[in-house]
Structure 1
Amino acid sequence: MRVTKYVITSPESEILPSDIAMHIYGSKRDVHVKETCFGVIINGEKDEIEDLVREIRAMDPNGIFIKDRGFPPGDPRRCRGHRGGGPRPGFFMLECESKMLPMISRALEAESRNAPLPEAAPEKTPVSMERLVEIIKDEFA
């Protein structure tokens, strides 16, 4: 059974997508690799991909994340080249998820050190109407 996975690096990780791709090429495994701005997409037999994912995660356990992908690289149902350009379906969700990865990486790092997690920022409250009017008057006075 063939599977496809995203290997996504946290923006704060020192491991680059090209480092992961070079590691995969060096492993001489029979997998298809596509480098992306977020990491790499790998496609191959399930057992081979699972072994490869373990190796890759070991490069930066708190900064490399794995996500299943339903379609192999170049699949005409998802490939921009076959759809006439534009962002591929799911790109914006992946972009949104990748913005959260630094926080997740830091939490995993703190957990691995058994360090206390930083306190959450206090909840912000909206400015009252009276205070807003006061600010505007001060600004234009």
Structure 2
Amino acid sequence: MSEETETRLIVVAPDSEITPDHVTRFIHALELPITVKETCYGAIIEGKRELVRKALQEVRKLDPNRICSKIRGFPMGDMRRCRAHHGSRPGFPQLEKEWELLPLIAEGLRSAERGEKIEEPERKVKLPVKELKKIVEEVSQ
């Protein structure tokens, strides 16, 4: 993959009303000269970096807090990752876990947009040894 080419995973949160099919059709409708492949979690897009980023910017407008992306380290169809040859699915458990967490991330983003402040949790202080000994003695009696 050249420095000018980029491959990105577009991941749609499980609680989004947007479907992977909708994402794929939307990207095709942009008529950009990039490659698009629908997946179970969203889509994979590949092409010139500027065009891929333009497509990503447009598709995120559909559901900004529930459509995320990340760079894929391998081009589409790469033998090291392609399932067409019935290989393993390296990296999929990580992506699956990230996908499951997207509703929580989306809620955090919505809270930030509303200007909600995050309360700092109380820091737990370690129990001094003297106090522990005192508790043990009290319970032992």
What residue number does 2:98 align with?
97
| Cα displacement (A) at 1:59 | 1.1
Change beyond 3 A, Cα 1:116–1:13 = farther
How far apart are the structure 2 equivalents of 1:32 and 1:23? Answer: 13
Contact 2:8 2:45 in 1 (8 A): yes
| Cα displacement (A) at 1:102 | 0.6
| Cα displacement (A) at 1:100 | 0.7
Q: How does 1:47-126 map to 2 (within 5 A)?
A: 47-82=50-85, 85=86, 87-115=88-116
What residue number does 2:9 align with?
6
Over the matched positions of the two proteins, sequence identity in percent amounts to: 41
CA deviations on 1:83-124 (whole Å, 9 max, x unpaired) are: xx254210111001111111000111111122356999xxxx
How far apart are the structure 2 equivalents of 1:11 and 1:59? Answer: 15
Contact 2:81 2:87 in 1 (8 A): no
* Larger CA deviation: 85-94 vs 7-16: 85-94
Contact 1:17 1:38 in 2 (8 A): yes
What residue number does 1:133 align with?
none
Q: How does 1:19-30 map to 2 (within 5 A)?
A: 19-30=22-33
How far apart are the structure 1 equivalents of 2:88 and 2:13? Answer: 21
Work out the number of aligned pairs and report it.
Answer: 118
Gaps (5+ residues) in structure 2? Answer: 122-141
SS of the equivalent of 1:66 reads strand
* Larger CA deviation: 1-10 vs 110-119: 110-119
Do structure 1's residue 45 and structure 2's residue 45 form an aligned pair? no
* Larger CA deviation: 70-79 vs 94-103: 70-79
Change beyond 3 A, Cα 1:92–1:26 = same
SS of the equivalent of 2:61 reads helix
Contact 2:15 2:103 in 1 (8 A): yes
RMSD of Structure 2 on Structure 1 (CA): 1.8
Change beyond 3 A, Cα 1:98–1:115 = same
What residue number does 1:138 align with?
none
TM-score by length of 2: 0.77
How far apart are the structure 1 equivalents of 2:118 and 2:13? Answer: 19
